Amino acid sequence: MISKPHAIQVLLLPLICAFGASACGNYSNDDVDFELALPDQNDIEAKTQLTVTRPDSAEYYVDTQSAITTFNSMATTLLGFIDHVRGYPPSQRNGNQRVWGPFPSDHYPSWQIQVVMVRAIVSDTLQMAYHADLRPVGQGDSAWVSLLVGSYTSQAGAVPSQGTVSFLAQTVRAAGYPIDDDPGVVNLDHLDVTYQNVTYPITVTMTIQNLPTAQTQSGQYNYAEQQDGSGSMDFTWQGTTDTNVQGSAEMNSRWLGSGAGRADLVFTPSSSGAATTLGTDCWGVDTVASYSYRLNITPTTSPDTCLF
Amino acid sequence: MSKLRSVARAGPLVALLFFGAPAGAAVQHRFALIAGNDQGGADTQPLRYAAEDARKVHAVLTQLGGVAPTDAVLVLNQSADELWRALGGMEARLAEAKQRGERTVFILYYSGHAKDGDLRLGESRIRLEDMKARLSAAPADIRIGVFDSCRSGIVNRTKGARRAPAFAIEAAGSEETRGLVLLSAASADEDAQESDEIGGSYFSHYLVSGLRGDADQSRDRRVTLSEAYAYAYARTVADTAESAAGAQHPTFSYDLKGNADLVLTDIASRREGIYVPANAPAGIYYLVDANGFIAAEVQKAIDGDRQIALPAGRYRVRRRLADRLRIGDIHIATGQLVTLDETSLHDAAFSDDPVKGVHREPGAQISVSLGGTVQAFFDGPTRDGLFPPTGMVGLDVEVRDFFRRGWLWGLDLAGGGTHAQLDRYGTLLPFQFNELTAGTTLAAEWRLSQGSLDAFTGVRLALVVMSRKFDERTIPDQFFATFTPGLVAGLRYHLSRDFTFLVRGRVHYLLYNVDEDRSLGYWELNAGIAYDF
């Protein structure tokens, strides 16, 4: 990433550039459109009302928190690649196109990064398409490969937006970029995110497609957030279990604005297609299970204690 | 010297002319028309003190010269038509007084530009010969014309002007004096010079200072016309001898019937001022007013005393020695004659000279102002969504007459901001807008009516740095910096000698080139209070 300028640079820069040129700066209304088109952590982040865990917290509550942490971690990784754009003026302004870079990659100086954004206004709706590209230093324009591809649509209101962004790990891996140095993406083929915060419920969907060699072949997170703080997170994984059974595991977790919630784990073997509920946990605001069900184990409390 | 000796020297008619008359003699009624104009129109540089000199002459004549305030007309920075109109009014009043059987004295004083035989009053002109003819024909027993202007000696040319230190009006007989006296500040080929140190023209300054008592050579507490002229002549020549323009020689001419000198001011009649006793050290005493300008001077001889009539107020007395100054403060209360006590003065370094501007380069004047500015762009969309209207506070430093007389050069710094919002396709984005400007101005300045109002217009180049910070934190801070050329015009109203109220209007061009190349314009309205150093 590029380091932020010091305060003294911020003060001196306008003076230096004004004396060096007739006019200079990044004061632009158009640039605002481009800046707004980029998703930030708030757009993609999943949030729960309860964030603490304790030794006696419900197991599925802990699993939900873990899934949300993973989800947000992947979102952070994704957004890190477009931080080159956020906070810096474009290198080129060509009408409805802005280009940032090429910048040298901080981690891999032999590679360059550039971000290209194209704006279109359709029926008073602002639409953006962007891609973040990589290429080895010294290569021509044809060597650019996209690591990120995204789009954005803005509706009237207070910065609401909806968009998509895809992280194309396998594409840059094939081009020679050492993306596998990050252990979190070793098995990743690509990751697609769709988000919208125009109306409630705010939704973020993250679809993960791993390489064929991975034990877990694909996964999907569906996050929803209501205005009162209640929400849900469904995460589904396709793959092979430790006992070598092919199928999908789906955990459906939802909670109230108070944080109390419920999660159900369902496994569907590919062979039969018959879903089996493996377990259910309900928890209160203390995160401790008020009801817990596991396959073949008799619950000690009544499911009536569950809020859902 | 006793009053009797003075009368014996100057003639018995002195008493008749000024201080009343014996039985059967007519009462003398004095009128004065005093004009001053700093502007001389095209191809002349504005004068700094012409109007001020006129004020001083008006003050001394109404305080000490026997001219009732209702009989004195002060015409400042007015056109030739206005002066002619004032002169016509004065002539009518003189005629009325004559019809009443009064003996009349009419004093016409003019301070301002003169060139090529014309008195210059702004863009209007009066032929000096025409003014002289009108004065000669005025229905007064005695007409006195005083012209403090460049080459004003031309007024005396046809009568055989004399560049002489003094003239004498012999006292003989009892015939009442009638006729015309003309005084000029400079000869026909000389410039009349001003001085920032004394805050006026040399000639008028010494004329006023002499009339306040320092010209009282006879020490009878009365200053006659010949005494005043002799004093002003000597001091003017002496003080201008070393100047770049060369020595300035006042001239005189007169055409009088009757033999008597004319008493112009009666110091004894107004026991208000300062008395320098005979035992005070000899030398030149400067009496500096509260504004730092020399109100009067005293040329103290070894064995003589001096009485100077001054209005009530606080004054600083300064006497210059070879290696130091002697300085002291005096307060003249109303109706009080204060005797100067040498022991009340103290030694001071030359750097503590109380005379304002004594170490200043001639003509250069610095003022500092604090004020507020409102700025807005002409283009509506630009004003609404890019650079919002902004209020700023700022500091201005101006130097007048630095590059040339009548020009001012200014440096200004201002900063401010406002809260606004940007509408992008229905999305409202609030932001804090800040602006910093630094500019330099070069303008021509000239004085308008009554000497209290100046106008100026010129060019300005400003460095403008504008920035905004959005409430939406994902949008980075933005800035734009550029140089913008513009025009400036304004008015300066003199609240007092030191303070002025300023109003400036500016129009600037700004090239905006971030999203696209756009030529924009903005205006600024600035108002402030300036202090003149």
Q: What residues does each domain of chain B span? A: 3-264, 273-352, 365-532
How would you label B508-528 residue by residue, b for 16+ Cβ within 10 Å and e otherwise?
bebebbbeeeeebebebebeb
Contact A149, A193 (CB under 8 A): no
For B85, residues 6+ apart whose C-beta sits below 8 A from its C-beta are none
Q: So what's the pLDDT on residue B74? A: 93
- Model confidence at A38, pLDDT cuts 50, 70, 90, reads confident
Q: So what's the pLDDT on residue A287? A: 93
Per residue in B186-216, pLDDT (tens digit) is 876 777 777 777 778 889 999 999 999 888 8
Contact A24 B482 (CB under 8 A): yes
CATH code of the domain made up of B3-264: 3.40.50.1460
Q: So what's the pLDDT on residue A200? A: 92
For B132, residues 6+ apart whose C-beta sits below 8 A from its C-beta are B145, B155, B182
Asked if residue B278 has pLDDT above 50, the reply is: yes
3-state secondary structure B359-393: CCCCCCEEEEEEEEEEEEECCHHHHHHCCCCEEEE
| Continuous segment of H or E residues that includes residue B532 | strand B518-532
Asked if residue B530 has pLDDT above 80, the reply is: yes
Task: Return the residue of B nearest to A121 by Cα.
Answer: B425
Q: So what's the pLDDT on residue B156? A: 57
Helix (H, G, I), strand (E, B) or coil at B6: helix
Helix (H, G, I), strand (E, B) or coil at B60: helix
- The per-residue pLDDT of chain B, averaged, comes to 82
- Model confidence at B170, pLDDT cuts 50, 70, 90, reads very low
Q: So what's the pLDDT on residue B434? A: 96
- B421 contacts in A (CB within 8 Å)? none
- Model confidence at A289, pLDDT cuts 50, 70, 90, reads very high
Residues above pLDDT 70, as percent of chain A: 90
Contact A30 B515 (CB under 8 A): yes
For A9, residues 6+ apart whose C-beta sits below 8 A from its C-beta are none
Q: So what's the pLDDT on residue B12? A: 33
**Is B517 at the interface with chain A, CB within 8 A?**
no
Q: So what's the pLDDT on residue A43? A: 82
Which token pair is B443?
A: 């303008």
Per residue in A88-115, pLDDT (tens digit) is 788 888 889 999 889 888 889 999 999 9
Contact A25, B479 (CB under 8 A): yes
The top-scoring range by mean pLDDT among A153-157, A259-263, B186-190 is: A259-263
- A119 contacts in B (CB within 8 Å)? none
- Model confidence at B9, pLDDT cuts 50, 70, 90, reads very low
Task: Return the residue of B nearest to A17 by Cα.
Answer: B481
3-state secondary structure B158-182: HHCCECCCCCCCCCCCCCCCEEEEE
Contact B514 A154 (CB under 8 A): no
Asked if residue A237 has pLDDT above 70, the reply is: yes
Q: So what's the pLDDT on residue B349? A: 76
**Is A33 at the interface with chain B, CB within 8 A?**
yes
CA–CA separation, B474 vs B476, rounded Å?
Answer: 6
Residues above pLDDT 90, as percent of chain B: 36
Query: Which is higher by pLDDT, B399 or B45?
Result: B399
Query: Which is higher by pLDDT, B162 or B177?
Result: B177
Asked if residue B337 has pLDDT above 60, the reply is: yes
Contact B427 A30 (CB under 8 A): no
Q: So what's the pLDDT on residue A50? A: 79
Q: So what's the pLDDT on residue B44? A: 75
- B433 contacts in A (CB within 8 Å)? none
Contact A26 B470 (CB under 8 A): no
Of B89-93, B405-409, B475-479, the one with minimum mean pLDDT is B405-409
Fold of B273-352: Immunoglobulin-like (2.60.40)
Q: So what's the pLDDT on residue B1? A: 33
- A121 contacts in B (CB within 8 Å)? 425
Q: So what's the pLDDT on residue A156? A: 53
Task: Return the residue of A nearest to B483 by Cα.
Answer: A22
Contact A158 B481 (CB under 8 A): no
Q: So what's the pLDDT on residue B523? A: 97
Strand partners, B127: B118
- Model confidence at B6, pLDDT cuts 50, 70, 90, reads very low
Rounded average pLDDT over B79-89: 93
CA–CA separation, B503 vs A46, rounded Å?
Answer: 58
- B478 contacts in A (CB within 8 Å)? 25-28, 31
Q: So what's the pLDDT on residue B172? A: 39
Q: So what's the pLDDT on residue A124? A: 73
- A12 contacts in B (CB within 8 Å)? none
Strands B124-127 and B118-121: antiparallel
Distance of CA B407 to the CA centre of its chain: 18
* Closest C-alpha to B141, from B95, B179, B184, B99: B179
Asked if residue B20 has pLDDT above 80, the reply is: no
Strands across the sheet containing B306-309: B306-309, B273-276, B337-339
**Is A14 at the interface with chain B, CB within 8 A?**
yes
* Closest C-alpha to B412, from B378, B436, B388: B436
Contact B166, B261 (CB under 8 A): no
**Is A104 at the interface with chain B, CB within 8 A?**
no
Q: So what's the pLDDT on residue B166? A: 54
Asked if residue B429 has pLDDT above 50, the reply is: yes
- Model confidence at B515, pLDDT cuts 50, 70, 90, reads confident
Rounded average pLDDT over A154-177: 82
Query: Which is higher by pLDDT, A229 or B172?
Result: A229
- CA distances (Å), A153 to each of A129, A191, A193, in order? 9, 20, 14
Q: So what's the pLDDT on residue B236? A: 85
ipTM: 0.72
Which token pair is B412?
A: 């200004």
Q: So what's the pLDDT on residue A134? A: 94
Rounded average pLDDT over A23-32: 87
Asked if residue B158 has pLDDT above 80, the reply is: no
| Facing residue for A159 by CB, picked from B386, B427, B479 | B427
Q: So what's the pLDDT on residue B155? A: 57
- CA distances (Å), B190 to each of A176, B46, B119, B302, B434, in order? 93, 17, 15, 34, 57
Residue with tokens 């990784």: A77
Q: So what's the pLDDT on residue B27? A: 56
Q: What single-letter amino acid sits at A42? A: N
**Is B511 at the interface with chain A, CB within 8 A?**
yes
CA–CA separation, B189 vs A212, rounded Å?
Answer: 109
Alpha-helix runs per DSSP H in B13-79: 13-18, 50-64
**Residue A186 distance to chain B (closest CA, Å):** 30
Q: Are the folds of B273-352 and B365-532 the same?
A: no
Query: Measured on CA atoms in the order B329, B331, B337, B339, is the torsion positive or negative?
Result: negative
- B472 contacts in A (CB within 8 Å)? 36, 159
Q: So what's the pLDDT on residue B244? A: 66
Count of CB contacts below 8 A, A vs B? 107
Asked if residue B484 has pLDDT above 60, the reply is: yes
Q: So what's the pLDDT on residue B454? A: 85
Domain B365-532 matching CATH 1.10.3720.10: the answer reads no
Q: So what's the pLDDT on residue B10? A: 34
Rounded average pLDDT over B38-59: 85
**Is B477 at the interface with chain A, CB within 8 A?**
yes
Per residue in B101-136, pLDDT (tens digit) is 888 999 999 999 888 888 888 889 999 889 989 999
- The per-residue pLDDT of chain A, averaged, comes to 86
CB-count exposure of residue B74 (10 Å: 0-12, 13-18, 19+): buried
Asked if residue B233 has pLDDT above 80, the reply is: yes
Strand partners, B439: B412, B462
Query: Which is higher by pLDDT, B19 or B404?
Result: B404
